[in-house]
């Protein structure tokens, strides 16, 4: 939150910015409500750029790269965009092209040449220079350098291949020689003979080698003479070569036993050439007789055996010819005594054996001639295998100087762990002859990788590759090749991805856009016959709120590990650079819960329904997770605050080379927005700014969900343009001398525009040409009677001209005042909010656990309901059988009624004898009689004591002469003043004749006596028995 230097304006808070947002000084949001903001150096700006497509053509392998936290770059704006590319593979025959397009406009440029070290100058060819000899002598004063054009196989007849000129610089002078690259290897060898006066007889000197590239010309070898050319600073270094006074011998020493050693030449020999092998003898050798047996194949002969010291040793030569082999036996006798020596282990030359090679080797192919050496002493078996030694002589009609592997690339970005597709770099082996000739070798070739965790080599030794199982990268990893007795090495750099991947989203929380309703998928069978109004109503009911969308990018850093096993990594381009691998891993990326969000085209994230999920990338090789990013979709509402509009009337493009890597290329394109000419077609670039401080290009949304309209104040100023891929385009039919303002509005798509939904969601203004310096952004005319009608071109999912049916693009007039527009928009938004609050959300998906819980809850509710019904039935059934209130005083406590059932008549008589005399007969009657109403008599005062008791006894004649009786005993508090006549606590028995009416009624009913006559007789019997 930053405060302006003048104190008159303040930036609205944007919240935390994701790492790919950058700063730009041209886009601010004015808000006067943050006057207490803190000062800061610069304001965080929106990540806006011109959404033009930048793509490389004719480039075999390339990546988009970005710096951490700098996307888009700082120089991007609504009218410009900048992208950095990394070209890894060497260039093919045609120069790569970089194309920038924003339909219907496009432009392209040739990528500038690579920049090479150390002078940082562009070179149009990717050349590898290999020095064959490290040292030269006066006997062989030729410096040979192989030049190779990397990148591809060159077909025959490539007339565009250049020449390479080798320059040798020595204190004694300079020399140069050129060669022309030959197809199909795309290589050539320069054999430069150094002047004899450059060699010193006493010391070793050094000459520096460099080369330049020049076009092919008519001359010896297809290259110019180059006499007048001074390389100067244009020459590229190759290295140095030593100038030695004499050629050091090249030999190999092999021990035959503990005392004798064989020294043989370590160079190929030519047919007809004479060469010698030397036997060395230690000074402590004491034997006087030594026999040397030599076995050779046809084509090689032993011509002589010469003792190095004839005074000490003599040699006798015997030859034996066989069908396949020739055997030579050399017998050596000691002729004199050896002088004592202080170093008995030193070797001294003992015998020279001369060989000669036949003139023919069979077609000029290099072959080997095995020679078997065997020492024999007196008393030793002649065929002792332990003393045999086989030495192979390489015989070739060509003067082969070196074996050199040629690779199409020396740098490999290992993307196999991300895609599962192996990557190969073809390799070809060639030999360099003494005359500068190149010959490819394909048979009897061996190879081996020094580190299989970084790089592997094919069995045929024709390629190096990575299969995805490699765990590391490295710089200068070595691959060894050998053919016959020649060996060579190839060093490559392998960059490996550092996991996990970085998944960057322009917005990690997607919300619903208020008022933006879009058509949903059709549900149910389609109705064949329907009126137009019913069809429109049905489609409008199928609309739902649009969720926000976000851009997705997959990034990865690539690095090389040290060969010594250390932890210090070397990053490609630098530790703060990332490679965009979206085009590689997008097929393997998915959203875990597709109901919450979906990934369209691997680049656009679309919200579907509220929830939390994540995007993950799985390895196609092991199904492990390469990268993951969480996201949320909520039903919170956001609004489209404004449309940021940029007119595009053309595209400009500039390219530049970087210095971090030879293949780094930066492309910057601008939108041309000068004063348009008549009939000028204009494309409009749109950015949507939301209330949650996010901005996205309109290209992220489906064109069918965007209802866009553009209008101008001047009548007939614009006409709709045919769609050519842009979101919105117009044709300017006429413009004044000053800038022309265009007003752009965003609506829901036509099927979802009903009533209040016809109000624009947001609007913006763009100027064609330069706006007036002192005039703010224009508003629509306030009075239509004073202003000419404005014209408007509409685009969207379904477009219709005003007053017409079936038209796709229309032009109509507008006479609405700005105040009314603002008022209507405010009212519409309020109604929209009320409508959204009344809307019932769509049913969510129910899980199995929730279904089980709901079923269990329903069972509990049914059980509770049954229990309540049973309780109500019980209360209604027994509500008439409540005991009566026997107390005369309403305020007196409720007495306790005791019921005793029994058949003992004597017990009943005893209780009746103890009780006091009852009231007169006429005071009560049986209330069970149908006609005998009357009130229940009051209780007679009982005997004195703590309590008074009353009892009534009913008896009935049984078949066996016994009576069943029911005794009621009621305890009530006694008056305190009355003296007790019986022991305290003795109950008083009251007759049933003085019981309450309700008591007698329900007792009688329980006994089955319902007839009035039967009840009367029953009561008389009771009175008689009492």
pLDDT, tens digit (0-9, with 9 covering 90-100), for 94-112:
678 999 999 889 999 998 8
Is residue 940 within 8 A of residue 919, CB to CB? The reply is: yes
Give a yes or no: residue 1020 inside a domain: no
Q: Is the pLDDT of residue 999 over 80?
A: no
The whole-angstrom separation of Cα 868 and Cα 694 is 58
pLDDT of 31 > 50? The answer is no
Nearest C-alpha neighbor of 191 from the set 438, 488, 487:
438
Distance CA 497, CA 556 (A): 6
Task: Indicate whether 281 and 355 sit together in one domain.
Answer: yes
Tell me whether residue 973 is in a domain.
Answer: no
Instruction: Report the mean per-residue pLDDT for the chain.
Output: 75
Token pair, residue 243, equals 């100038």
Q: How far is CA 818 from CA 349, 515, 781, 823, in A?
A: 112, 21, 7, 9
Same domain, 230 and 273: no
Q: Which of 848-862, 886-900, 988-1002 has the highest mean pLDDT?
A: 848-862
Which of 7-11, 137-141, 243-247 is the most confident on average? 137-141
- Domain assignment present for residue 579? The answer is yes
The answer on 514 and 571 residing in a single domain is: yes
- Is 222 in the same domain as 291? no
Rounded CA separation 543/753 (Å): 10
DSSP state of 885: -
DSSP 3-state of 906: helix
The pLDDT of residue 784 is above 50: no
Count CB neighbours of 517 within 10 A: 23
Task: Flag the least confident range among 262-266, 429-433, 692-696, 960-964.
Answer: 960-964
- CB-count exposure of residue 847 (10 Å: 0-12, 13-18, 19+): exposed
Model pLDDT for residues 480-518, shown as the tens digit of each residue: 999 877 899 999 999 999 999 999 999 999 999 998 999
- E strand or H helix at 291, and its extent? strand 289-297
- Strand locations in 733-837 (E): 740-747, 762-768, 790-795, 811-814
pLDDT tens string 917-966: 444 444 444 443 434 444 333 333 444 444 333 333 333 333 444 444 55
Two structure tokens written together for 731: 């044709």
How wide is the angle at C-alpha 863 spanned by C-alphas 862 and 864, nearest 5°? 90
Taking the C-alpha atoms of residue 378 and residue 356, their distance in angstroms, rounded to an integer, is 30
Whichever domain contains 391, its CATH number is: 2.60.40.680
Contact present, 341 and 366 (Cβ < 8 Å): no
Is residue 1007 a part of any domain in this protein?
no
Burial (CB < 10 A; 0-12, 13-18, 19+), residue 998, is middle
Structure confidence at residue 578 (pLDDT): 95
Range of the domain at 171: 127-243
Nearest to 204 by CA among 134, 252, 131: 134
834 confidence band (pLDDT: 50, 70, 90): very low
Do 970 and 898 touch, CB atoms closer than 8 A? Answer: yes
Same domain, 135 and 227: yes
Asked if 281 and 384 sit in the same domain, the reply is: yes
Residue the block writes with tokens 């390339």: 62
Domain end, chosen from 395, 412, 431, is at 395
Whole-angstrom distance, CA of residue 719 vs CA of residue 812: 10
Asked if residue 381 has pLDDT above 80, the reply is no
The edge-to-edge listing of strands for the beta sheet with 947-957 is: 896-902, 963-973, 947-957
User: What is the average pLDDT across 59-88?
Assistant: 89
Report phi then psi at 863, rounded to 5: -65, -40
**266 vs 339, which has greater pLDDT?**
266
Angle at 1005 between CA 1003 and CA 1010, to 5 degrees: 135
Question: Confidence band (pLDDT; 50, 70, 90) for 382?
Answer: low
N-term to C-term CA, the chain = 107
User: Which pLDDT score, from 0 to 100, does residue 2 have?
Assistant: 40
488 lies in a domain? no
What whole-number distance in Å separates Cα of residue 953 and Cα of residue 912?
Answer: 9
Q: Please report which confidence band the pLDDT of residue 360 belongs to, taking 50, 70 and 90 as the band edges.
A: low
Q: Would the pLDDT of 670 be above 60? A: yes
Contact 642, 763 (CB under 8 A): yes
The count of structural domains within the chain is 3
Under 8 Å between Cβ of 635 and 621: no
pLDDT at 233 (0 to 100): 67
Q: Between these two residues, 522 and 714, which has the higher pLDDT value?
A: 714
Asked if the structure places residue 357 within a domain, the reply is yes
In this predicted structure, what is the pLDDT of residue 993?
45
- Of 357, 378, 395, which one is at a domain's C-terminal end? 395
Taking the C-alpha atoms of residue 684 and residue 103, their distance in angstroms, rounded to an integer, is 10
- The pLDDT of residue 40 is 39
CB count within 10 Å of CB 1021 equals: 15
Give the CATH number of the domain where residue 237 resides: 2.60.40.1930
- pLDDT of 967 > 70? The answer is no
Percent of the chain with pLDDT over 70: 65
pLDDT at residue 589 is higher than 80:
yes
Q: What is the pLDDT of residue 961?
A: 44
User: What band does 476 get if pLDDT is binned at 50, 70 and 90?
Assistant: very high
Quick check: 206 and 240 in contact, CB under 8 A? yes
Spatial CA neighbour of 358 closest among 276, 270, 299: 299
Residue 836 domain-assigned (yes or no) = no
pLDDT tens for each residue of 524-563: 344 444 444 555 555 556 788 899 999 999 999 999 999 8
CA distance 511 to 635: 6
Would you say residue 691 has pLDDT above 80? yes
Q: Which residue has the higher pLDDT, 697 or 2?
A: 697
Cβ–Cβ contacts within 10 Å for residue 593, how many? 14
Give how far Cα 845 sits from Cα of 48, 369, 606, 611, 838, Å. Answer: 38, 83, 19, 11, 21
**Do 274 and 162 share a structural domain?**
no
Share of residues in the chain with pLDDT > 90 (%): 35
Residue 707 DSSP symbol: E
How many other CB atoms are found less than 10 A from the CB of residue 380? 11
Task: Check whether residue 205 and residue 276 sit in a common domain.
Answer: no
pLDDT at residue 384 greater than cutoff 60: no
Considering all CA atoms of the chain, what is the largest pairwise distance in Å, rounded to the nearest integer? 181
Domain assignment present for 942: no
Rounded to whole angstroms, how far apart are CA atoms 656 and 658? 7
Mark whether 279 and 150 lie in a shared domain: no
Q: Do 204 and 287 reside in the same domain of the chain?
A: no
Nearest to residue 992, comparing CAs of 1003, 976, 1006?
Answer: 1003
Better-predicted residue by pLDDT, 19 or 167: 167
Claim to verify: residue 280 and residue 327 sit in the same structural domain? yes
Radius of gyration of the chain (CA): 55
Residue 217 three-state SS: coil
The tokens describing 226, both together, are 């180059």
238 plus 277 within the same structural domain: no
Who has greater pLDDT, 774 or 125? 125
Length of the chain (residues): 1026
Q: Is the dihedral of CA 770, 772, 778, 783 positive or negative?
A: negative
Using 50, 70 and 90 to split pLDDT, how confident is the model at 11?
very low
Task: State the pTM of this model.
Answer: 0.66
61-65, 570-574, 750-754, 933-937: range with lowest mean pLDDT: 933-937
Q: What is the mean pLDDT of residues 147-161?
A: 72
The H or E element that residue 1006 is part of is helix 997-1006
Of 642, 676, 696, the residue that ends a domain is 642
In the predicted model, is pLDDT for residue 38 greater than 80? no
């Amino acid at each position: 939150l930053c405060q302006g230097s003048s104190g008159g304006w303040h930036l609205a808070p944007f919240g935390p910015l994701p790492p790919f947002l950058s700063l730009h000084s041209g886009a601010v949001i004015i808000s006067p409500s943050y006057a207490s903001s803190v000062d800061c150096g610069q304001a965080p700006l929106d990540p806006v750029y011109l959404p033009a497509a930048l793509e490389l053509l004719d480039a075999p392998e390339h990546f988009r790269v970005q710096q951490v936290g700098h996307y888009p770059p700082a120089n991007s704006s609504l009218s410009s965009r900048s992208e950095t590319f990394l070209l890894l593979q060497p260039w093919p025959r045609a120069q790569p092209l970089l194309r920038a397009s924003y339909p219907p406009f496009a432009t392209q440029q040739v990528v500038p040449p690579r920049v090479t070290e150390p002078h940082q100058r562009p070179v149009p060819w990717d050349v590898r220079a290999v020095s064959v000899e490290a040292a030269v002598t006066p006997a062989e004063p030729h410096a040979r350098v192989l030049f190779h054009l990397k990148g591809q196989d060159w077909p025959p007849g490539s007339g565009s291949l250049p020449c390479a000129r080798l320059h040798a610089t020595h204190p004694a002078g300079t020399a140069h020689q050129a060669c022309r690259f030959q197809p199909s290897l795309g290589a050539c060898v320069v054999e430069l003979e150094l002047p004899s006066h450059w060699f010193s007889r006493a010391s070793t000197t050094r000459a520096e080698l460099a080369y330049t590239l020049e076009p092919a010309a008519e001359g010896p070898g297809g290259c110019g003479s180059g006499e007048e050319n001074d390389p100067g600073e244009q020459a590229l270094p190759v290295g140095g070569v030593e100038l030695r006074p004499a050629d050091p011998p090249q030999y190999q020493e092999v021990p035959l036993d503990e005392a004798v050693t064989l020294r043989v030449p370590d160079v190929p020999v030519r047919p007809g050439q004479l060469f010698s092998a030397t036997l060395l003898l230690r000074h402590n050798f004491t034997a006087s007789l030594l026999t040397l047996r030599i076995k050779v194949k046809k084509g090689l002969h032993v011509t002589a055996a010469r003792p190095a010291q004839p005074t000490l040793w003599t040699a006798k030569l015997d030859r034996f010819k066989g069908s396949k082999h020739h055997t030579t036996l050399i017998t050596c006798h000691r002729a004199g005594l050896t002088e004592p020596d202080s170093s008995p282990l030193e070797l001294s030359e003992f015998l020279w054996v001369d060989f000669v090679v036949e003139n023919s080797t069979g077609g000029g192919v290099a072959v080997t001639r095995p020679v078997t050496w065997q020492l024999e002493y007196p008393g030793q078996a002649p065929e002792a295998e332990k003393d045999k030694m086989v030495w192979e002589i390489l015989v070739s009609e060509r003067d082969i100087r070196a074996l050199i592997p040629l690779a199409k690339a020396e740098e490999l970005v290992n993307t196999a762990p991300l895609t599962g597709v192996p990557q190969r770099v073809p390799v070809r082996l060639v030999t360099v002859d003494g005359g500068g000739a190149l010959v490819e070798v394909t048979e009897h070739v061996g190879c081996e990788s020094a580190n299989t965790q970084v790089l592997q080599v094919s069995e045929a030794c024709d390629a190096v590759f990575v299969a995805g199982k490699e765990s590391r990268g490295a710089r200068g990893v070595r691959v060894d090749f050998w053919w016959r007795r020649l060996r060579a090495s190839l060093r490559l750099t392998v960059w490996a991805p550092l996991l996990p991947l970085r998944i960057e989203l322009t917005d990690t929380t997607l919300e619903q856009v208020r008022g933006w309703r879009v058509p949903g998928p059709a549900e149910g069978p389609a109705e064949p016959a329907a009126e137009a109004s019913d069809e429109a109503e049905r489609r409008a009911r199928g609309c739902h709120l649009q969720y926000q969308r976000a851009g997705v990018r997959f990034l990865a850093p690539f690095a090389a590990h040290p060969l010594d096993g250390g932890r210090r990594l070397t990053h490609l381009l630098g530790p703060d650079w990332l490679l965009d691998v979206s085009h590689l891993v997008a097929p393997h990326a998915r959203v875990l819960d597709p109901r919450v969000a979906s990934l369209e085209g691997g680049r656009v994230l679309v919200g579907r329904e509220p929830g939390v999920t994540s995007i993950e990338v799985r390895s196609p090789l092991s199904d492990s997770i390469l990268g993951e990013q969480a996201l949320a979709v909520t039903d919170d509402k956001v609004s489209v605050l404004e449309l940021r509009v940029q007119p595009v009337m053309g595209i400009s493009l500039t390219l530049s080379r970087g210095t971090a890597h030879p293949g780094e290329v930066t492309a910057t394109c601008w939108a041309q927005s000068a004063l348009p000419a008549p009939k000028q077609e204009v494309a409009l670039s749109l950015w949507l700014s939301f209330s949650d401080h996010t901005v996205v290009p309109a290209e992220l949304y489906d064109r069918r969900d965007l209802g866009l309209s553009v209008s101008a104040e001047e009548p007939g100023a614009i006409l709709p343009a045919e769609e050519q891929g842009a979101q919105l385009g117009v044709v300017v039919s006429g413009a004044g001398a000053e800038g022309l303002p265009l007003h752009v509005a965003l609506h829901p798509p036509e099927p979802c525009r009903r009533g209040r939904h016809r109000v624009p969601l947001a609007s913006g203004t763009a100027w064609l040409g330069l706006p007036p310096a002192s005039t703010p952004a224009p508003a629509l005319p306030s009075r239509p009677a004073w202003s000419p009608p404005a014209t408007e071109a509409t685009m969207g999912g379904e477009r219709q001209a005003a007053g017409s049916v079936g038209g796709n693009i229309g032009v109509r007039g507008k006479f609405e005042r700005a105040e009314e527009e603002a008022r209507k928009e405010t009212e519409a938004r309020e109604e929209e909010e009320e409508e959204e609050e009344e809307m019932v959300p769509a049913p969510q998906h129910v899980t199995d656990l929730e279904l089980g819980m709901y079923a269990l809850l329903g069972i509990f509710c049914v059980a509770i309901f049954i229990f309540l019904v049973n309780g109500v039935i019980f209360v209604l059934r027994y509500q008439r059988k409540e005991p009566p209130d026997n107390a005369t005083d309403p305020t007196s406590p409720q007495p306790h009624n005791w019921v005793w059932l029994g058949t003992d008549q004597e017990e009943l008589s005893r209780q009746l004898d103890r009780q006091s005399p009852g009231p007169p007969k006429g005071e009560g009657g049986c209330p069970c009689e149908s006609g005998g109403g009357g009130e229940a008599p009051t209780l007679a005062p009982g005997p004195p004591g703590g309590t008074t008791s009353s009892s009534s006894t009913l008896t009935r004649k049984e078949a066996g002469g016994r009576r069943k009786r029911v005794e009621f005993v009621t305890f009530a508090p006694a008056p305190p003043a009355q003296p007790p006549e019986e022991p305290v606590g003795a109950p008083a028995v009251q007759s049933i004749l003085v019981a309450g009416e309700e008591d007698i009624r329900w007792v009688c009913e329980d006994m089955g006596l319902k007839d009035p006559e039967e009840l009367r007789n029953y009561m008389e019997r009771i009175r008689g028995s009492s």
